[in-house]
Amino acid sequence: MTNSESLPRTVVPAGIIDPVTSARAELKAALAAIEVKGNIPRRVEKASTRAAAKARVFADRNPLGAIAATVGIAAGVGGAVWAIARAISR
């Protein structure tokens, strides 16, 4: 049952003749895809690394714009914290 005549060629990936090996390879690929898609901390880390690199490039090209963006973000976060604290205190 391990030769190529027992199964159609479309079932076996290229280069894998043994059906058990083929099933293992398909399972390994499926589990790897699930791991990549479901590993939220790793995806967040990669996204934050990309965002930090983009921010550094922006700051190098436009220092005044970076300062203005930082002040704007700080004001927005401060305003949100103030609004939440005020809503909780009432």
What pLDDT score does 34 carry? 83
What pLDDT score does 39 carry? 86
What pLDDT score does 11 carry? 40
**4-38: per-residue pLDDT in tens?**
455 333 344 567 778 788 788 888 878 888 887 88
CA distance 32 to 42: 14
Vertex 54, ends 49 and 57: CA angle to 5°? 130
**26-82: per-residue pLDDT in tens?**
888 788 888 878 889 988 999 999 999 999 999 999 999 999 999 999 999 999 999
* pTM (2 d.p.): 0.52
With beta carbons less than 8 A apart as the criterion, state whether 22 and 13 touch.
yes
